[in-house]
Amino acid sequence: MAFDALVPKKAGVLALIAAAGVSLAPAPADARPAAPTDRQIAAATRQAPGGLSALAWMVTDADTGTVLAAKNPHRRLAPASTLKTLFAVTVLPKFPADRVREVSAGDLAGLGAGSSVVGVHEGGRYTVADLWRGVFLRSGNDAVHVLAAMNGGWSATAREMQQTANRLGARDTTVKSPDGYDTPGQVSSAADLTAFARAGLADEQFARYCSTLRARFPEGGADSVQIENTNRLLVGSHGMAHYPGMIGVKNGYTSKAGNTLIAAARRNGHTLIATVLNPQSGETNGVYKEAGSLLDWGFDHVNHPSPVADDTGPAEDTP
Mean pLDDT, to the nearest integer, of 175-202? 98
Question: What pLDDT does 194 receive?
Answer: 98
Q: Which of 71, 84, 250, 289 is catalytic?
A: 84
Which residue is catalytic, options 71, 116, 139, 188? 139
Verify whether residue 139 is a known catalytic residue: yes
Is 81 an active-site residue? yes
Assess whether 84 carries a catalytic annotation.
yes
Instruction: Please tell me which residue in 10, 23, 71, 81 is annotated as part of the active site.
Output: 81
Answer whether residue 3 shows pLDDT above 90. no
The total of other beta-carbon atoms located within 10 Å of residue 121's CB is 12
pLDDT, one tens digit per residue, over 13-63 is: 333 434 443 333 333 444 456 665 555 554 433 557 888 999 999 999 999
pLDDT computed for residue 312 by the predictor: 42
Query: What pTM was computed for the model?
Result: 0.86
Which pLDDT belongs to residue 41?
53
Question: Over the range 133-146, which residues count as b (16 or more CB within 10 Å of their CB) and which as e?
Answer: bbbbbbbbbbbbbb
Average pLDDT, the chain: 86
What amino acid is encoded at 6 in this protein?
L
SS3 for 266?
A: strand
| Weakest mean pLDDT among 44-58, 96-110, 219-233 | 44-58
pLDDT band at 318 (very low <50, low <70, confident <90, very high): low
Cis bond upstream, residue 218 (ω within 30):
yes
The angle formed by the CA atoms of residues 237, 239 and 244, to the nearest 5 degrees, is 60
pLDDT at residue 283 above 80? yes
Burial class (CB in 10 A: 0-12, 13-18, 19+), 56: buried
Of residues 101, 190, 189, the one with CA closest to residue 146: 101
Q: From the options 3.30.70.890, 3.40.710.10, 3.20.20.140, 3.40.50.720, give the CATH code of 22-301.
A: 3.40.710.10
